[in-house]
Amino acid sequence: MRSLKNILWLTGKELRAIRGDRVMLVLIAYVFTLAVWLVSDAASTEIDHLSVAVIDEDHSQLSARLIDAIQPPLFATPALLGPAEAEAAQRDGREVLVLAIPPDFERDLRAGHDAELMVLVDATAVAQAGNGATFLRQVLAQELARWRAPGADGTALVDVVFRNRFNPNLTSRWFSAVMQLMNNVTILMLILSGASLIREREHGTIEHVLVMPVRPHEIVFSKILASGAVILGASLLSLIVVVQGVMGVPVAGSVALYAAGAAIYVVAVASLGLLMASFTRNMGQFGLLVIPVMVIMILLSGGMTPLESMPEWLQWVLRAISPATHFVIFAQAVLYRGAGLALVWGEMAMMAAMAAVAVAIVLGRFRKILGG
């Protein structure tokens, strides 16, 4: 009971320190509100009025049909340019796609000869260029199929129907909003937990704690509990108010189950932040140490790029040492697909095991610091 009382007292001290750090409070408020919206909504990579130029050297009815098929909202109204003008426009970055229709294109097709359409893509706009070229190829292929066999769309023997589960309209912000929220939990948890120790070293209050009748596990647990409660509470408010309420992103699963998994995750990440802070003397050193760890955890978590696209050996390594990988799998299953405890308990168990190992290492490190 005395140990529990000390933990609660130290947790209150940590919460008062966070409340007094206005810069940190502003950062937490910004990251879980405006930053979530900006990254997921304002900075969208969806195809919307993509600029297209057309070099029409055929001037036939078919070329006119192809040009008319390029319509909003996917594409802007095509600009009819000459070869030199189109090249200059793409060099200047004014046109992402350029469609070149060669002379005698329709005549060659009617004669049964091979004909080619050339699409020049500005690959510096990676996301839009890749998706835009794919959509443009589909539009052209559909229009050519209608021209070859008018009215054949309804007489096909096989009708392939696609239904997009969990995101019917393929809205990118449904994905990016939740992913950005999970990334923010990782970033702020590392920073806030490490800063709680660095702040005491820089202000000289760590010496006051060392002379108090407290044990290492009480200090560690209080810092994890305080920073974890702040970040977990802020993330849940952001999920309910910003993501669901303001942005209108549906959450399919249980928020309570997500909160339970996120609580396990913040313990693991907070322990990692404290461990890195124990090897540094000031925020500058801590920042240099935490940035590469943070970047690797986020980029290789599976939230920004699919885990399956990574080398198999790297997947095994990440599943063995990174709680972020299991947190992304867990959160996507719960929030996107409505998975229950029976489907995600394995990921929660892995996060709990990693959290236990991280806490044990931090406790050993703190005993060494206090002993010194």
Give the global pTM: 0.78
Q: Give the pLDDT score at 208.
A: 64
Q: Give the pLDDT score at 154.
A: 45
Query: What is the spatial distance between Cα 189 and Cα 167, in angstroms, rounded to a whole number?
Result: 29
- One digit per residue, the tens of pLDDT, for the chain of length 372 reads 788 888 888 888 888 888 888 888 898 999 999 888 888 776 666 777 888 999 999 999 999 999 999 988 888 899 999 999 998 888 888 888 999 999 999 998 888 888 889 998 887 766 677 778 888 888 898 888 888 876 554 444 555 566 777 877 777 788 888 888 999 999 999 999 888 888 777 766 665 666 667 777 888 888 899 999 999 999 999 999 999 998 888 898 899 999 999 999 999 999 999 989 888 888 888 989 999 999 999 988 888 778 888 898 999 999 999 999 999 999 999 998 889 999 999 999 999 999 999 889 988 887 776 655
Q: Give the pLDDT score at 155.
A: 45
Please state which of the four CATH numbers 3.40.1710.10, 2.40.160.20, 3.90.70.10, 3.20.20.80 is assigned to the domain occupying 52-155.
3.40.1710.10
Q: Give the pLDDT score at 43.
A: 64
Residues of the chain with CATH 3.40.1710.10: 52-155
